[in-house]
């Protein structure tokens, strides 16, 4: 099984965490968020899924920052947090506005917004 899972000329992969482990987890987190954003019809859950995608990006940033042994990536995560907070404030205000107008959170009820 070990031979099946890991390539023989990369022996450290089985003994030690590498950058790739974190990047795979980050890609999976991003993908789950993307699937949720496309499938769910509740506006609030759709915005939760964008936060999941932010999380995936954040894991990649921190892992790369640790890999290169400097702190620029971690400082960038602060901006991801800032953008997430701003997005949450604005998007949730919009959601409240839309809900008041039509008493529903169904994204497909607002299909005319696509222009």
Binders in 57-96 for other proteins, by CB under 8 A? 58-59, 62-63, 65-67, 69-72, 74-75, 77-79, 81-90, 92-96
Q: Is 9 in the site for other proteins (CB under 8 A)?
A: yes
DSSP assignment of 27-59: HHHHHHHHHHHHH--BHHHHHHHHHHHHHHHHH
Burial group, residue 18, by CB count within 10 angstroms (0-12, 13-18, 19+): middle
- Smallest separation (angstroms) from other proteins to the CB of 110: 11
- Smallest separation (angstroms) from other proteins to the CB of 114: 14
Q: Is 2 in the site for other proteins (CB under 8 A)?
A: yes
Q: Is 39 in the site for other proteins (CB under 8 A)?
A: yes
- Smallest separation (angstroms) from other proteins to the CB of 5: 5
Angle at 49 between CA 45 and CA 54, to 5 degrees: 145
Q: Is 102 in the site for other proteins (CB under 8 A)?
A: no
């Amino acid at each position: 099984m070990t031979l099946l899972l890991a390539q023989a000329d990369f022996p450290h992969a089985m003994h030690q965490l590498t950058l790739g482990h974190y990047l795979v987890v980050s890609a999976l987190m991003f993908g789950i968020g993307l699937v949720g954003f496309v499938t769910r019809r509740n506006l609030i859950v759709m915005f939760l899924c964008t936060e999941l995608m932010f999380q995936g990006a954040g894991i990649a940033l921190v892992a790369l920052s640790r890999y290169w042994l400097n702190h620029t990536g971690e400082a960038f995560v602060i901006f991801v947090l800032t953008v997430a907070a701003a997005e949450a404030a604005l998007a949730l205000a919009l959601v409240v506005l839309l809900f008041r107008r039509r008493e529903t959170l169904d994204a497909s009820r607002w299909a005319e917004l696509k222009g």
